[in-house]
Structure 1
Amino acid sequence: MTSRPASPETKASTSAVLMHLAQAEGEERISVGEIVSRLGDRAPGLLLVMLALPMCIPNVPGISTIFGLLMLAPAMQLVLAREQLWLPNRVRAWTVSRAALSNALRRAAPTLRKIERFVGARWTMFVLPPAEQLLGLQTLLMALVLMLPIPGGNWPPGITVAATGLALAQRDGRLALLTVPMAAVSIAIAWVGFRIGAAVVIHGFHALARLFGG
């Protein structure tokens, strides 16, 4: 399987591409399809960055399930080695506030610029097929972890997916390799969180049974 052809924006940094999207003028709401089109051939990696960043900070309970579901499409593209990101027409028609998207990207840009000082095209064999497909499987697993209601379990897989997306967008194979132990740690934390949550629920049921059962 050959690698995807590079677009004119391939050499641009991730923050530059996202800022270009933030500054684009248009109607009050922007569709998912338009966002994907503007991101070009780096849409999978950049979409993963955009979807994962909100998971790296405290957020509304339950929102990680929605973002985890949205991550499935770019992750599956990586697994299937598709050259174009396929989304159902209904999903492509979804719209978000252009102002809200622009504000979110502008807030994230300074942090991304700092991170990009340490990120660049290297060891590219680890971000091209078949390694790229393995990264897709890893991202699928992280998306599933995000979809689970685990207390405090959002940020480790969120950081892992953000790093994976950045590695793909910037063709940084070394960063891609670093996401493997990050994913392992994310799974370990999720497992511990699940065990603790399950123990609390079971203890609560037993306490209620004793209370009402005499």
Structure 2
Amino acid sequence: MTASGDEPFTISQRLHLLAQDAEGDSVTLDWILAQLNERAFGLFLLVLALPCCIPFLYGVPQIVALPLMFVSGQILLGRGTPWLPGRLGARQVATSSLAGLAQRAEPWLRRIEAVSRPRLAALTRRPLDQLVGVALVVFSASILVPLPGTNTVPGIAVVIVAMGLLQRDGILVVVGTILGLAWIGTLLLAGATLVSLLRAWIGL
């Protein structure tokens, strides 16, 4: 899939092209990364986070969470292009799943595309995007929590931030970051409350 900074493809169209270009029953994360070219950070975050938005989906979010965290960490470190180590890059994604993901995500992505535009673009570029990288690492880590529904909200937060990075829309970046931080705060509060109740129950 070719790419250029002024190409007419929307983000939803690019996902469809990615699925169409996939050959065989499955592709690796390295292959996906190689197709995304100069917009790789935002698009790769988007591709990895979209499956996490599905409620009560187990297995897939945990598979993509580590690569998601790794790529987010590279944004934090100010790396220009994303890279995955051998084992993470070799992880397989079914071609049918990639096509289905593009189809299911299209109406939602189109809604976001319709309201997004370049604004507060400094938040999408270094050095400010490195602060966003900190939040993305935390959101990605929370996806690993093996509890029902814990992947959905941080997944949506990462998708919104990724769309903001792609569209140079700092407002979307802020919205996604606030959503994710609110979720992390809720998890921490719930965890602290649970620990307190357990301690009271066992008499500590």
- Report TM bin, short chain: 0.7 to 0.9
Q: State the percentage of identical aligned residues.
A: 30
Which of 100, 104, 107 is residue 107 of structure 1 equivalent to? 104
The one-letter code matched in structure 1 to 2:186 is I
Q: Unpaired runs of 5+ in structure 1? A: 1-6, 207-214
The equivalent residue for 2:138 is 141
d(CA) in 1 for partners of 2:154, 2:117: 22
Q: Which protein has the larger Cα radius of gyration, Structure 1 or Structure 2?
A: 1
Distance 1:96 1:153, change over 3 A: closer
More deviation in 134-143 or 173-182? 173-182
Residue 127, structure 1, aligned to residue 124, structure 2: yes
TM-score, normalised relative to structure 1: 0.81
SS class of match (1:108): helix
The one-letter code matched in structure 2 to 1:102 is A
SS class of match (2:97): helix
More deviation in 12-21 or 59-68? 59-68
Distance 1:106 1:63, change over 3 A: closer
The one-letter code matched in structure 2 to 1:56 is C
d(CA) in 1 for partners of 2:193, 2:147: 9
The question of whether the paired residues in 2 share the 8 Å contact of 1:72 and 1:143 is answered with yes
The question of whether the paired residues in 1 share the 8 Å contact of 2:19 and 2:102 is answered with yes
The equivalent residue for 1:183 is 180
The question of whether the paired residues in 2 share the 8 Å contact of 1:156 and 1:185 is answered with no
Residue 67, structure 1, aligned to residue 64, structure 2: yes
Q: Deviations over 1:128-152 (max 9, x none)?
A: 0111100101101111222223444
d(CA) in 2 for partners of 1:88, 1:105: 25
The equivalent residue for 1:83 is 80
Residue 54, structure 1, aligned to residue 16, structure 2: no
The one-letter code matched in structure 2 to 1:173 is G
Q: Unpaired runs of 5+ in structure 2? A: none
Q: Deviations over 1:111-141 (max 9, x none)?
A: 2112210112222111001111001011011
